[in-house]
Structure 1
């Protein structure tokens, strides 16, 4: 488990990683959000775009508006619709008149335990940005890069003026992304990583964790990590059939109990992908190598 840095964190305080980018940390730390969701404001002229407005906390909404200062907020963009990313979109739109856009609406009913945030039922975009579509303002252009995998509606946003990429939860600066079936898809996730690896973005700004200064190097290691996990699963199945919980103590030694469900979901996502490729088979609750 990655250690969360000691407090105080810069919650609510505007930070400026580059001239066109302002970062505001939301007050929602957890084992799955690190120190909280990072909301980004893009622009340095008369208007701003807001990326991943975060939880609908009055304190955080006030901090976003304060960070914008005299500039107008003219676009509210969401990378996906987990509850730590998009619920503040609607109240921020009410306070600013800005349209909500970006990822498509996605709500999946799930009454069981989750390994991450549940989906936001309040998200209603005025405009869904398809892969390659752009929105622009005074001195900034954001282009949508479809990156399904963490969720089927996940989108990254490329800032064309600086070469930065806002990666939401697809690539994070502190941990690997949780892939939760049935909507989370390991095959799509790896294909999206390949897509980013082929790009030449200069820096990633994730929704959680530090900026990624060497993005292609990190993406390459992430792809390698997932392929190593896949090989590990196949080695375990080479010893005989296993149920899902049986993989965890072998693959994740010393795991924080709070993250056990997340680990199970990642293994499950790998198994589903391997099953789709006719490498493994399942019978009731047990998995077998073919």
Structure 2
């Protein structure tokens, strides 16, 4: 990508998520190798990584829950070696999405924002005082593991009643099924099928989305009260449910965001789509390793 956010060259490989760590790394190296053969690679000055978490940017390691072979895996070191020493910036995928939305999406122009990915999990990131705030390890804003139900279901993270345990796509579908929702003749029990059922008026599917919206509203309001964000941007597969999610979310937010300094908080759908992680990883790298020539030019113009 260039400084304007234009994608110059794209490469991708399937993730062999159930294989050992080095096999997964070979897929990453294949992507890098293809990019290196492109004409634009000679101008590359940094590499950005947006990874499923947890990540530890301070150590350069990743431990994605859905990639068992990567536990404390030294991804930054391995990518740096594969790219002949280019500087590497690592952030969590929620932080990457936030960087993308602040640069090119719904959070553009907002100095204080929370951006969320609501999909198979719930992640997020923060913009504070006009700048991306990844935190020391690259996980700041991970709203999915704020507890909003103190006596709620156990979460795989070890806590109880986390936003993710209530509002992620699989948990929305699970709760509807446990309440008695039955899919159509095709047997589709996916979150997308649940959203279609809710849109058609199914009360059990609707109730599960309402519960998810309430959990999201509680987490967003808590975040807004803590750091005074003025917009929450929501992307990911569950956000594609549209008003099935956003209408009850906005209603619930009025019940939770009650203090005077958070009442004007707005919620908006994300705009950067499926490229959010890629765009955001590039944005994080550009932020961490700015172009020295461009910085000198800006300084000269100001002078």
Give the TM-score, by structure 1 length.
Answer: 0.28
Q: Greater share of strand residues, 1 or 2?
A: 1
Q: Greater share of helix residues, 1 or 2?
A: 2
Give the TM-score, by structure 2 length.
Answer: 0.27
